[in-house]
Structure formats: C-alpha cells, structure tokens
Structure 1
Amino acid sequence: MDETGEITVPPTLSSGTDFEHMFELAPTSLWLEDFSALKQLFDAWRAEGVTDLREHLAQDPARVHQCIACYKVLRVNQRTLELFAASSQTELMHNLDKVFRDDMQTQVAHELSQLWSGSPEFTNQTVNYALDGRRLDVKIRARILPGHEATWSRVLVSLDDVTAQVQSALKLQRSERYARDLFEHSPVSLWVEDFSAVKRLMDGVRAQGIRDFKTFIKVHPEFVSRCMEEIRVIDINQLTLKMFGAVDKGELLNNIGRIFRGEMHDSFAEQLQDLWDGKLFQQREVINYALSGEPVYIHMQFSVLEDHHEQWDLVLLSLVDITARKKAEAYLEYLGKHDVLTQLRNRTFYVEELNRITRKGPWPLSVITIDLNGLKSINDEHGHAAGDALLRRMGEVLAKAVEASACAARIGGDEFTVLLPGTDERGALAVQERISSLVDISNQFYPGQHLSLAMGTATCSSGDQVESTLHRADKAMYVEKQHYYQQQPRERRGSSDSQA
C-alpha cells in the first residue's frame, strides 16, 4: 500500500535468479536428487512378482545397498556443505560413501517402503556422517517434485539436524536407566509407596477436632489397621524379593499381609504418630516376616520425598536386614547370663537375681545348694572331656527339674544353686526329690560315669535372712557331701585330693 492508500503489487519473482537464491540460502540443508534409477529398480522387482518390499530387502541385505546406489545427488545448498563439513559440492559428492554409511543402512528401508507404497513423499529419521567424522542425527523430508511423478527424476530432500535433541534424549534415557539400575540393584531393600490415602484419613481425623492422636489410636486400633490397608506399593527392588523369599514382584505384592503382621501393628502406630507430629523422615527397628514365615528383623528408614510433602504420594523406604545382628546380640546376651557348658544360668545372673529377690521377694525364698561329687577324680582319671560330659548331664537334670520361674545356676566349677522364690520348705523338698529322681534316670540312661550330687536346702522369709539362709544350705550340703565320701572306698591317694 502506497502513500495514497492504493495496494501495490511487488515485482514478479523471476523463476531463475530468485528461486536460485532461495535454494542456495535456505537455512535448512536441501538436496536436489534424481531417483529415476530407483523407480526403474522398483518396476523391475514388481515385474518379478515382489509385493512386500520389506521382506524382499530382509532376504538379502545387498538389495538395500543396491537401492542406495540408485540415489543420484544433483545439487546441494550452502547449509548442506556447512553441515557436512565439505568445502565444496564436488568434495561432498566424491565422499558420499562417507556420508551414507553404518546406521543409515538399517533405517533406509522405512523411506523406501513409503515410496514403494505409492506415496510421492516420505519422512524418516536416520544417521548420516559429516566428512570430519561427526555423527549427525537427521530428520529427512523428501518430495517428488510436481511434473516428475512418473519418473522420480527430481526429488527435493530437506535434512534437519536433530543431533542435539537425539543426544539429549539418549542422555535422559541413560540417566533414567542409571537411576533405575541404582534402585533395582541397591544393596538394601527399597520400597516406593503412596501414602496419600493415609494422609487423607489423618486429615479427616484432624478435621473432627482430634488433638490427642496417641489416645485416639489407642481407643481406635482399627484406624491403624485401616491406614495399613490404604498404603499402595508402587515399586520394589530385587533385594526386596530376595530378603522376603519372593519369586517375583507379583508374588510379594499379593502377599503383603503375610509380611506386615504381628508386631508391625504397634510399630506402624508409632510411625503414624510421628507423621501426625510432622516427622516426614523416620527410622526405627521393626519385625517383618519372610513368605516362609521366618521373622526378619529390619532397620527401616522412611522418607516422604521433598516435592511430595503436601500429598505424601511418593514415599521411599529402605530396609536393612539386621536379623544376623539381632541373633548375635541375643547370643551375646545369652552368654552374659548363661553357662555355655551346662546351658544353665551363670554366676553373674545368679548374683543379680539373688539381689533382686533380696530387695523385692517374693517370699518365702528357698535355696538348694548342690555340689557334683567326684568331679576332680573323673577329670584326673578320665580326662576333662569326661568331666565336661558329666557337667552337661547335670545341666540337663536341673533344666528339667526346675521350673522357668525359678533360677538354676552354675556358680562354680562343680557348684550349683537353685533359687526358688515364693517357695516354702515343703516345695523346696519336692524340687530336691525331683532332682534326685532325674539323677537316677540319667544314671540309667548313661551307664558310664555315675552322676552323684550333694544337696542342702534352707528357707527364709525376708531379705535380711538371705545370707544366713545360703550359709545354712551350704552347711547342709557339705554334711551330705562328707557322708558321700565316707561311703567311698579308701583307695585314693588321699581324702583331701578326692573331695572335690
């Protein structure tokens, strides 16, 4: 439109110079090519009865090379020379074998199929190579120019360099695969869970005006169970399957109720209390169960991921199997309170238990002191292995004769004591008779070394009498022991050596 308001028409573009410039200066790589030889090859194959081009190419990979050889490049523009690092069109044409190679061979079948099917154009994403060796990921668009549909003698091809996008996508894929591998092959059990339904339930409780959540879940334990049911497991890793003895994820997820049971209800109640108090990162020791039924002691770390604090819809749990550690701790605790040889309580536990009873009862307290007769002679004459065997038999007798509420302890080499809280003289004599009866049975079952005991019993009714009671039991035991040695043959080297 000029100053007078009339529309002005630009000068007509000449079909020569202007379009020449448009091709040459286009910001996209342009190729003018001749596909007529390719059409002739296709026509020949059709005449031979070929109907499925992809199958035909797959039968003989050399046919793909035959098709590519039919492409004839007539001209490229300046952007093409820049993209492929060619100084001139002549250099590029003489090195097309370096441009069209490797990955391209496997992807060209897609564009060939589009032409075979009768389409005048095709699109494809493939790989070319610049003359300096750079790999180029390119998106191809090609069109048979109007007027050349019968011969395919003029085809305009444009290439968009998508290398950056492809490499970015590959980098993202590698990053995702790396993250996935870290998750799947982590040396600890990992669970990804959705707690959003749990949050909605807890928000509902708040909306009811509940402030004392601890009391609420004590009064309503079914709320804890409901929250456990609402947890949605999104994913688990390989070590989780191994830890709980599951063949695959389906088997484990279909048996969640067998894993989280028993003590887990109380542990989960504590977890809910922490969530109520705003603790979105937690750690605690819990007990789960393998699908075999065996308990699995777990150190659990729980974390609501940072970007999901509002909904709790993405939670990561890591579980470390501490079963071996727990067993070791239990064994060490056992060793601290038990005699390894006889499996009875040891002197340390005996002293602690005696002090506890002295302070708190229950009363009356009866004590049986026991000494194993002839242990030194057996060790001297038959070796310590024989003596140890006799001590183990002593442990078996006392373990069966004394109830769990009482304390049977080995307090010295051949010295044993039984504490019977809440037991009078009559009850103590009954236990002593039971011990004697089991000794007789043991001697029948083990005909080798004879098990013989000296026992003394005493009873008291208060803490200030405990020490004197122990003394009276010891005195009674030594009287019986002396009686035992007086009945033995006097064939030993000396009574002082044998009385042990």
Structure 2
Amino acid sequence: MPQLDATHSFHIFQLAPIALWIEDWSEIGHLFEQWRAQGITDLREFLSEDLQHVRQCVEKIRILDVNQATLTLFEARDLAHLIAHLPDIFRDEMYNLQIDGLVAVWNGELQFASEQVNYSITGKRIDIQLRGQILPDAEHDLSRILVTTEDITAYQNARRQEFKNRALAEGRFIYSPAALWVEDFSEIKHKLDHLRKIGIEDLRTFLDVHPEFIRDSIASIRVLDVNQKTLDLFLAPNRHALLENIDKVLGGPEMLNSFREQLMELWEGNLFHQREVVNYALDGSERHVLLQFSIFPSYEHDWSMVQLAMTDITARKKAESYLEYLGKHDVLTKLYNRAFFHEELKRLARQKIFPVSMIYLDLNALKGVNDEFGHDAGDDVLRRTGEIVKQVVNPPYSGSRIGGDEFIVLLPHADQSTTVKLIITLKELFHLDNQYHAGLPISVAIGTATSEPYESLEDVLKRADDQMYVEKKRFYAKKVLFSNH
C-alpha cells in the first residue's frame, strides 16, 4: 500500500471537515513531574481543589498548528489571530471540564475525551466534543498531540431544551392544582382483548354474569406515580402510605359501579372520557371527584401509560345536595315542604297507588303564641311539631309542612285502620311532649281521610282539610266558652 507523503498529509489535515489542532504539551509533562516530586498522587483531587492549577496547565499548552475548520469554527483569520485570542476561547467553565483530559494524560493514557465549552473570538458559546491522541514518538515528552474539537452545540442545545421541557413537565405534574395519577392499564387491555378473542360482544351482559371481572381489573392496575395534590386530596403523608391503602381510597360499591362504566367506555374505544366518582380519604371521609381519563399519545396500542386527573368537587356536591334538600324540605321543621308534597301527590296519582290516606294537622292558636311569647317561641312549637311527625313517618310515608302552621302526613297504601292507629300514636306523642313543655303546650287540630275508589287525591285532601276545620272550630268554641266563664 502506498504511503502518504508529507504534502498529502498536510492537505488532508487542512481539508478535514472537523477542527484539528496539533498541540505541544511538553511543558505540562514537566509540570506533572514537579507535582509528583511534591508528593501529589491524586491529580483529580489536586486540580478540583484549586482550578488555578488547571489554568496553569492550559496556559502551558503550545499550539503548533490548526486546520481551516478550526479557524472557521472559532472565527479566526489565521493561526496568529487564534493564538492571540486563546484567553477568550478557553475560559469560564472550560477549566472544570478540562480535568478529565489532564488526568488521563497523568495516568499514562494515549487517548482522552471530554465534552467542553469554548467560545469563538466574537464571544459565541460553542459546545464541543474534544478528543485527544498522543502521536507516535511523543508518548514520553507529550510534544505532539492531535486534538479534535467537534461542534456539538446543536446537539447540546437540544439536550438542554429536552431537559428544560422535562423539568417543566415534571413541575406541571408535581404542582398541578388537580390530583394526577399515572397508571399502567396494559393488563386491562389484555383482558378486554382476550374477551373479544373468545367471542364476547356484549360486555355489559358479560359483567352482569361475571361481576368478579371488575374487581380483577381494578386489582391489575399498576400505579406508576402520583403528584402532591393527590396526597393532599386523600390525606396521605406520602406516596407509599397512599399506595399501601389504595383499597381504602377506591373502596365502596360506588367505585365498582363507576369502574364498570369506565370499562364500558374503554370497550367502546373511548380512550378519553370523564365522569364523577366517589373515593375516600385515608381517614374515611368521602371525596367526590371529577375524573378525567386519558391514554398518553403513542401508548394507544398497549395502554401502558394512562393519566387520571381528579378535581375535587366535594364542596360542590355538598352544595348541590343542600340546594336539593332546600328544594324539598322545610328548613325549620326538617320535614318536607309544600313543593315536595304536591309532587308526591302527582306521583301517587300517576302510579295509581291505592289506597292513600292523609292526616291533616293544624296548630291551634299559634298566632297567640307568637304575640304573647314572641316568634322564637312560635318557631320552637313548629320545631317540636316537626320532631313528633318525624317519629311516626317512615318510607313510603312522608310528613310535610305545607303552610305556616299546617302539616300533612301522606300515607301510601295505608287504609283507614292504619291511619287511626297513627293518629293515636301522634296524640300520645303530643301529650308526652307537652308534659316536658308544660309552659308552652302544643294544641293541634287533626283531620283524616282515606281515598275511595276513583276518588282524586285532591278530593281526599279536601275531606281531610274539612275534618280538621271541624276540630279547629270545636277548639275555639271551647276557648270562647271557658273565657266567658
């Protein structure tokens, strides 16, 4: 094979597309000898303790030659221009990064490599991959070393951007105001795929017959990570405590029903869906959450990376429940209100419930109590009446306050004899209550009616109302009689 002559070698050196340096490190070799004579054995520790020692080494490097790619990379006109600006090229964090190459040479290695930062003469930062090779016949005096400096700025910028993006993504995950879970659903996909393979077409029917499939699916979920908001939401001191008690968090029949519907969503191919679910904190308190399920992009094929975002809607659900309660209940007596009573009448009429009985109660002389003792005393009488009525009504029966001092006990499927027994119980309870409140006894007029075939419930209500008024007239007639005497 023909040998390259000096001219060809020179041309190859000059035309190489990568920056090449020929450097003389012999003065560094002499410096190493001095340090060894001083007892230095661990060069890395020695250099790391004082970067001035690194600077001392770099300043002893003598540049013998560079190629055109080097001049272009560092924006130098020629070798003299480059050498004049070496302090501008080799600075700042470069000294820390130079330690690996110096240690390799100290240890007698013929090659070294490191990633470093240099600067062009105009101040442009350049990330480089530096590689050095001690040339033949220079192993003992380090007088000729070939150094390559490959520009990897674009690569390093991409790495830095990737790191920044990753840190940003992790920060968004950790500090998100929503509780976030990252989970592996791959085993669930495998289970559903198997059902299709064996010919199952109707998953809902299959789950009716095999409810254990739901529990098995929940058990196969693998939690990969949770954020701080998740720990806060479920009152977990740390991730380990949460995962150790995951059954408590996901427990309850509500979760089984919710996950059943989630399986149906996945079966239908809905990889992004949301629903309201009920979970539990580690202290047993209820958590209503809006769960948003999404499979990460590029994981649609195996569901091995799934995100569940949970927004705590417990306060909202409590507010909704309270508003619903207010819509159907009387706040003072805790009985149902007039709106509920009329809706219940319509429901019983639509369903043709028979018989239906009603007990109509009206407090006697409540206005007199308000006038003589004040409205707080009147409210107390109403509250006591509500408590008594609640003691005799259990579903499907209901008690409602339909006016200021008027109450109805609605009794579906109750005949007249059942109604009479309830009235007797009511009167006994009023009598007992009055013994404890002798200074402010309750007087009540009671009317009752039981539906006849084909009679409207409005007519039944009117008959009970009429009977109540008969009793009320008797009360006031007696009152007038006693006042005359």
Normalising by the residue count of structure 1, what TM-score does the alignment of the two structures yield?
Answer: 0.86
Match of 1:276 among 251, 267, 276: 267
2:274 maps to a residue whose letter is: Q
CA contact (8 A) 2:21 2:63 kept: yes
Deviation string 1:434-472 (CA, Å, 9 cap, x unpaired) is: 333333444454566433322223333435064444334
Distance in 2, Cα, partners of 1:100 & 1:402: 91
Aligned ranges for residues 307-318 of structure 1 at < 5 Å?
Answer: 307-318=298-309
- The answer to whether the aligner puts 1:30 opposite 2:11 as a matched pair is no
CA contact (8 A) 1:361 1:422 kept: no
CA contact (8 A) 1:81 1:87 kept: yes
CA contact (8 A) 1:361 1:421 kept: no
Q: CA deviation at 1:362?
A: 4.4
| Aligned length, in residue pairs | 483
- The answer to whether the aligner puts 1:265 opposite 2:256 as a matched pair is yes
Q: CA deviation at 1:293?
A: 2.3
The match for 2:57 is: 67
The match for 1:4 is: none
Distance in 1, Cα, partners of 2:25 & 2:435: 107
CA contact (8 A) 1:26 1:79 kept: yes
The match for 2:74 is: 84
Q: Partner of 1:340: helix, strand, or coil?
A: coil
2:332 maps to a residue whose letter is: L
Aligned ranges for residues 323-338 of structure 1 at < 5 Å?
Answer: 323-338=314-329
2:471 maps to a residue whose letter is: E
The match for 1:430 is: 421
Deviation string 1:211-256 (CA, Å, 9 cap, x unpaired) is: 3333222122222322222233333333333333333333333333
The match for 1:458 is: 449
Higher alpha-carbon deviation: 157-166 or 189-198: 189-198
The match for 1:101 is: 91
CA contact (8 A) 1:284 1:299 kept: yes
- The answer to whether the aligner puts 1:410 opposite 2:424 as a matched pair is no
Q: CA deviation at 1:359?
A: 4.5
Q: Partner of 2:98: helix, strand, or coil?
A: helix
CA contact (8 A) 1:367 1:469 kept: yes
Distance in 1, Cα, partners of 2:350 & 2:146: 104
1:282 maps to a residue whose letter is: H
Change (3 A) 1:357 1:389: same
Deviation string 1:352-371 (CA, Å, 9 cap, x unpaired) is: 22233344464433322111
Q: CA deviation at 1:43?
A: 2.0
The two structures, once aligned, show a CA RMSD in angstroms of 2.9
The match for 1:254 is: 244
Q: Partner of 2:173: helix, strand, or coil?
A: helix
Deviation string 1:382-422 (CA, Å, 9 cap, x unpaired) is: 43333223322222222223224311111001111111223
Change (3 A) 1:18 1:281: closer
2:327 maps to a residue whose letter is: G
Change (3 A) 1:372 1:307: same
The match for 2:102 is: 112
CA contact (8 A) 2:177 2:229 kept: yes
The match for 1:482 is: 473
Q: Partner of 1:227: helix, strand, or coil?
A: helix
Change (3 A) 1:200 1:21: closer
1:275 maps to a residue whose letter is: L
CA contact (8 A) 1:359 1:463 kept: no
Change (3 A) 1:203 1:147: closer
The match for 1:201 is: 191
Structure 2 unmatched runs, 5+ = none
2:93 maps to a residue whose letter is: D
Deviation string 1:67-114 (CA, Å, 9 cap, x unpaired) is: 333323333322211111122222222221111111212212222221
2:399 maps to a residue whose letter is: A
Deviation string 1:271-324 (CA, Å, 9 cap, x unpaired) is: 333433344343333323333323322333334455444434343433333323
CA contact (8 A) 2:138 2:144 kept: yes
CA contact (8 A) 2:51 2:96 kept: no
Match of 2:464 among 446, 470, 473: 473
Q: CA deviation at 1:38?
A: 2.1
- The answer to whether the aligner puts 1:158 opposite 2:140 as a matched pair is no
CA contact (8 A) 1:361 1:462 kept: no
Aligned ranges for residues 22-61 of structure 1 at < 5 Å?
Answer: 22-61=12-51
1:254 maps to a residue whose letter is: E
The match for 1:495 is: none
Distance in 2, Cα, partners of 1:123 & 1:467: 97
Higher alpha-carbon deviation: 381-390 or 87-96: 381-390
Q: CA deviation at 1:330?
A: 1.7
Distance in 1, Cα, partners of 2:54 & 2:387: 86
Percent identity over the alignment is: 45
2:59 maps to a residue whose letter is: A
Aligned ranges for residues 338-417 of structure 1 at < 5 Å?
Answer: 338-360=329-351, 362-417=353-408
The match for 1:176 is: 166
Change (3 A) 1:91 1:310: closer
Distance in 1, Cα, partners of 2:48 & 2:200: 72
Q: CA deviation at 1:349?
A: 0.9
Structure 1 unmatched runs, 5+ = 1-8, 493-500
Q: CA deviation at 1:128?
A: 0.5
CA contact (8 A) 1:358 1:462 kept: no
The match for 1:122 is: 112
Q: Partner of 1:366: helix, strand, or coil?
A: strand
Distance in 1, Cα, partners of 2:479 & 2:55: 109
